[in-house]
Amino acid sequence: MNLLELLAVTFVLALGIVVLAVLLFYVIDRTQTGDAIRRNYPVIGRFRGWFSTLGEFFRQYFFAMDREEMPFNRAQRDWVKHAARGKGNTVAFGSTRNITVAGTPIFVPAAFPPLTAQFAHTEPMEIGPYAAIPYRAPSIFNISGMSYGAISRPAIEALSRGAAKAGVWLNTGEGGIAPYHLKGGCDVVFQIGTAKYGVRDENGTLNDDKLREIAENPYVRMFELKLAQGAKPGKGGILPGEKVTAEIAAIRGIPEGEDSISPNRHIEVDDYGTLLDMIGHIRDVTGKPVGFKTVIGSSDAWAGFFQLINERGVESAPDFITVDGGEGGTGAAPMPLMDLVGLPLREALLRMVDMRDRHGLKERIRIIASGKLVNPSDVAWAICAGADFVTSARGFMFSLGCIQALKCNRNTCPTGVTTHVPRLQAGLVVEDKFRKVAHYADQIIKEVETIAHSVGVAEPREMRRRHVRIVQPDGSSIPMNKIRPSINSELAG
């Protein structure tokens, strides 16, 4: 058989296989009952599903403009990418940002900024004056809660080492503390979720001995009681069974390979009184500052909490409150909760700060802002609004190499950040990524200090609402202190 005959036979065989495959798909599509399009348009109808799946890919890489994508656009992600490389973020020609979009913050430059330095300088701030071991936090920008389970072993290790290099804290998330959280020797905030992973007994209730053991670790600086998070307020954590490996199951104290669903709230906490009781108990057992993380939907619901603190005395107060916006992220959450429940941070933060200040607790309770804050303007806005600290999870995920593939809940993350598949984890090289984590944190802090210097203050936390204007729907802007005056300025006036 010569070459032409061989090619002809190969072609006929290939054509036959294609025809048989088409016939097989035709029969399958015509007889199945789950998809009307495929049943009415066999074979061809399959392309609709494929194109719908690929549409997300094509929009991200070919069609979406730099500032169009959600939840984070290309310009935001690129800023993080350049910052993580440690090469600076200077740009040429002009901004591509449309500053007439409603809600855009515009910072107010001082007529005569200080000549003594080019940057404001961040000073450490104490948290927990009534704890046996208060925490003097060095950085205004830190790593928000991401649990081992939701993200991978190399991701946790890179965050730990990067946090140590940059001098920022790392929140464990609700999955307990893993050896990888401690690899870098960074400051750690231990988060206690509703399932109390890592500090629970066999019945799922708080175990003081385990709590005390965690607190004895010198790297653990504070404890955060998670009441709610922005992506799923009113719902406990969700870790799919395929991500519950033997190691993760051992750390959390749960069965391997089964979905890990946390209760929707702490069984010990029925009202503000029992919340303060639990905070005080954890502080007494650990000797370290204790606060909580929550999402709010109304100021009215929390007014009684601050009143109760004043009745009991400032010693009873939480050492910090982390305010998460309804736009916060997570590895897995029901869409209605992610889209529709909880105030966005731009409103929630202002409300919580004002409630704290109205009750005279500004120096007692530190406010931490969390929720979609990944760029310097986001962080600077939050500081102007009254936050003492800002934490970010997704910003640091981008610094690790996250491409917003939106597969966090499937254990198939292509960059190794949120998967426990060894082949995919191999793409995340800790030796490279921890430096990018540190560069990103350093760059955020440096540029927030640059903004603070430009508005004329010596320390970022001296920025006030009057230092930022908010663009209105008609394109004009109004100072934030005119839109929502701070309680402190009202008292001073």
The predicted structure's pLDDT at residue 94: 52
For the record, the structure tokens of 318 come out as 């939480």
Write out pLDDT tens, residues 329-372: 555 555 555 555 668 888 999 999 999 999 999 999 999 999 78
Which of 20, 39, 63 represents a domain boundary (last residue)?
A: 63
Give a yes or no: residue 85 inside a domain.
no
Same-domain pairing of 366 and 463 = yes
Same-domain pairing of 231 and 332 = yes
Same-domain pairing of 251 and 133 = yes
The predicted structure's pLDDT at residue 93: 46
Who contacts 119 (Cβ-Cβ below 8 Å, separation ≥6)? 446, 449, 450, 452, 453
Give a yes or no: residue 280 inside a domain.
yes
Same-domain pairing of 301 and 400 = yes
Phi, psi of 317 (to 5 degrees): -70, 155
DSSP type of residue 168: -
**Residue 368: which H helix or E strand, with range?**
strand 366-370
Give a yes or no: residue 73 inside a domain.
no
The predicted structure's pLDDT at residue 436: 92
Give a yes or no: residue 120 inside a domain.
no
Same-domain pairing of 157 and 278 = yes
The predicted structure's pLDDT at residue 491: 43
Q: Which sign, positive or negative, has the C-alpha torsion 70, 65, 437, 156?
A: positive
Residue 298 has a CB neighbour count (10 Å cut-off) of: 10
Give a yes or no: residue 84 inside a domain.
no
Give a yes or no: residue 197 inside a domain.
yes
Q: How far is CA 186 from the centre of its chain?
A: 18
Same-domain pairing of 309 and 429 = yes
Is the preceding omega at residue 414 within 30 degrees of 0, hence cis? no
Tokens 């750690």 map to which residue?
A: 188
Same-domain pairing of 230 and 310 = yes
Q: Which sign, positive or negative, has the C-alpha torsion 296, 300, 304, 306?
A: positive
In 183-318, where does DSSP find H-type helix?
208-215, 246-252, 272-286, 300-312
Same-domain pairing of 54 and 162 = no
**Which string of b and e fits 151-188 if b means at least 16 CB within 10 Å?**
bbbbbbbbbbbbbbbbbbbbbbbbbbbbebbbbbebbb
Give a yes or no: residue 187 inside a domain.
yes
- Residue type at 1 in one-letter notation: M
Same-domain pairing of 58 and 170 = no
Give a yes or no: residue 69 inside a domain.
no
Same-domain pairing of 52 and 135 = no
The predicted structure's pLDDT at residue 5: 73
For the record, the structure tokens of 80 come out as 């993080």
Which of 45, 63, 81 represents a domain boundary (last residue)?
A: 63
Is pTM beyond 0.85 here? no
The predicted structure's pLDDT at residue 243: 78
The predicted structure's pLDDT at residue 490: 44
Same-domain pairing of 385 and 244 = yes
Write out pLDDT tens, residues 454-468: 999 999 999 999 999
Residue 191 burial (10 A CB sphere; 0-12, 13-18, 19+): buried
Rounded-to-integer distance, Cα 293 and Cα 362, Å: 17
Q: What averages of pLDDT result for each successive group of 10 residues across the chain (493 residues)? A: 76 85 87 76 77 59 52 61 67 60 90 78 96 97 91 93 97 93 96 92 88 96 88 65 84 84 85 96 98 88 93 97 76 53 85 95 96 89 96 89 73 82 85 92 94 93 95 92 75 39
CA distances from 381 to 243, 275, 361, 452 (A): 36, 30, 21, 10
For the record, the structure tokens of 218 come out as 């010198």
From first CA to last CA, the distance across the chain in angstroms is 100
DSSP type of residue 436: H
Q: Are 152 and 416 in contact (CB under 8 A)?
A: yes
Who contacts 232 (Cβ-Cβ below 8 Å, separation ≥6)? 238, 330, 333, 334, 337, 338
Rounded-to-integer distance, Cα 326 and Cα 341, Å: 6
What is the CATH number for 231?
3.20.20.70
- Tell me the three state secondary structure of residue 142: strand
Which of 41, 63, 85 represents a domain boundary (last residue)?
A: 63
The domain containing residue 51 runs over which residues? 3-63
Phi, psi of 151 (to 5 degrees): -120, 170
Total number of domains constituting the chain: 2
**Which string of b and e fits 104-141 if b means at least 16 CB within 10 Å?**
bbebbeeeebeeeeebbebeebebbeebeebbebebbb
Same-domain pairing of 212 and 286 = yes
